[in-house]
Amino acid sequence: MNKIITIGREFGSGGRELGRRLSQELQIAYYDQEIVTEIARRTELSERYIREIEEHQPLLSFPIHVGRSFYPAPNPVWDQRMSVYQEQSSIIREMAEKSDCVIVGRCADHVLRDMAPLRIFVYADMESKIRRCREKAPEGEKLTDKELRQQITAIDKRRAKYYEFFTGKAWSDRLNYDLCINTTQRVIRDMAPVLAKMV
Amino acid sequence: MNKIITIGREFGSGGRELGRRLSQELQIAYYDQEIVTEIARRTELSERYIREIEEHQPLLSFPIHVGRSFYPAPNPVWDQRMSVYQEQSSIIREMAEKSDCVIVGRCADHVLRDMAPLRIFVYADMESKIRRCREKAPEGEKLTDKELRQQITAIDKRRAKYYEFFTGKAWSDRLNYDLCINTTQRVIRDMAPVLAKMV
């Protein structure tokens, strides 16, 4: 069976960078934005629209794992969001079956649970996350610390809802992960080779 | 500066075993019961009594980091518990200054915070913890799953209170640790060499 590593991460924790560098160290595939591109190719939706769907919480407030009999009458937007998630899950499974890989976000730990992936969760304290966001911000963006804190909190809240909706589990529950890594005051570039030795 | 590894752990998660095996892999000192023996030597209290103090929550319900002006009038039992904690902290610092080492429990992550230890937290799901407790139980002990679950929950509750009392921080907050390791359905013997490569 292929070596699959899934990365869940708090916004600004450097989880995406850690995943990318880890894949480079291990010389295995890395999937993140590639998944969006592939969904777009298969569904003829724009990449921007797919990203929007991914980044926003689902329309309904109760989780997908609740019995189907409770669902409201189908509506087109709901159907489209569901089919994007299903397409995404199929793509993730195909990628994981093809070769060893690192997959970032998108409930991949849950989608691939029968393939026993190594499930990593990356987190950091708020100060470190604000600093990382500031370093990676587009030139000219001038958000205050307070605004950045609000943005980080809001994005993580959406991620938690998205995860809970599609998996029925709490995003922040450590039992959903094999390894939780704190990147507070750490340099991701230095962490990846060390982590690669372990996995 | 010495390489210091502190291990916090849920009861039954195999954290103590992981710490011991990790120290063997790295060929560095391991401190656990040794700390109790040393306190006993210095204070003339019995090891059994010290263990009892360590395993039970402090007498007061508000944390030690609250300003001293709120403290009630001193009493002998309270004084003794405080002096055992202080003796313990001194011993932990001495051990950490002497050589590289692994230290299990006893708020060592907090006591040694200015020495930048690698702070590991070990956890597992309840089913795995019950199984581990059953495997390590003294011969003849016949607790039901329900009784074991209650025991595990009660011990972890005490650990959380003890930690919170002396550090002012939440025991289960992942931000207090650099690495949280899930031992659910894992063999500790196999994990230690892998972890040793990383640290």
Q: pLDDT (tens digit, 9 = 90+) per residue, B5-25?
A: 999 999 999 999 999 999 999
Which residues in chain B touch residue A198, judged by CB atoms under 8 angstroms apart? 194-195, 197-198
Q: Report the pLDDT value the prediction gives residue B68, as an integer from 0 to 100.
A: 47
> Which one, of A84, A89, A16, lies nearest residue A46 by Cα?
A84
Name B103's bridge partners.
B6, B31
pLDDT above 50 for B126: yes
List alpha helices for B27-101, DSSP H. Answer: 33-43, 47-55, 76-98
Q: Considering only the beta carbons, identify the residue of A180, A184, A195 that sits closest to B180.
A: A180
pTM of structure: 0.89
The answer to whether A195 contacts chain B (CB < 8 Å) is: yes
Q: Report the pLDDT value the prediction gives residue B83, as an integer from 0 to 100.
A: 83
The chain-wide mean pLDDT, for chain B, equals 87
**Best mutation target, B109, B119, B156, B179, to test chain A (most A CBs within 10 A):** B179
ipTM of the complex: 0.87
Environment class of B100 (CB within 10 Å of its CB; exposed 0-12, middle 13-18, buried 19+): middle
Which residues in chain A touch residue B197, judged by CB atoms under 8 angstroms apart? 197-198
The predicted-structure confidence for B10-68, as pLDDT tens digits, reads as follows 999 999 999 999 999 999 999 988 888 888 888 878 888 888 877 765 555 445 554 44
Q: Report the pLDDT value the prediction gives residue A66, as an integer from 0 to 100.
A: 47
The answer to whether A150 contacts chain B (CB < 8 Å) is: no
Higher per-residue confidence, A65 vs A87: A87
Q: Considering only the beta carbons, identify the residue of A174, A195, A198 that sits closest to B174.
A: A174
Q: Cβ of A177 and B174 within 8 Å?
A: no
Q: Considering only the beta carbons, identify the residue of B174, B184, B195 that sits closest to A182.
A: B174
For the ranges A58-67, B109-118, B169-178, the lowest mean pLDDT is seen at A58-67
pLDDT above 70 for A58: no
d(CA A115, CA A23) in angstroms, rounded, equals 18
- What mean pLDDT comes out for the span B154-165? 93
Q: Report the pLDDT value the prediction gives residue A68, as an integer from 0 to 100.
A: 47
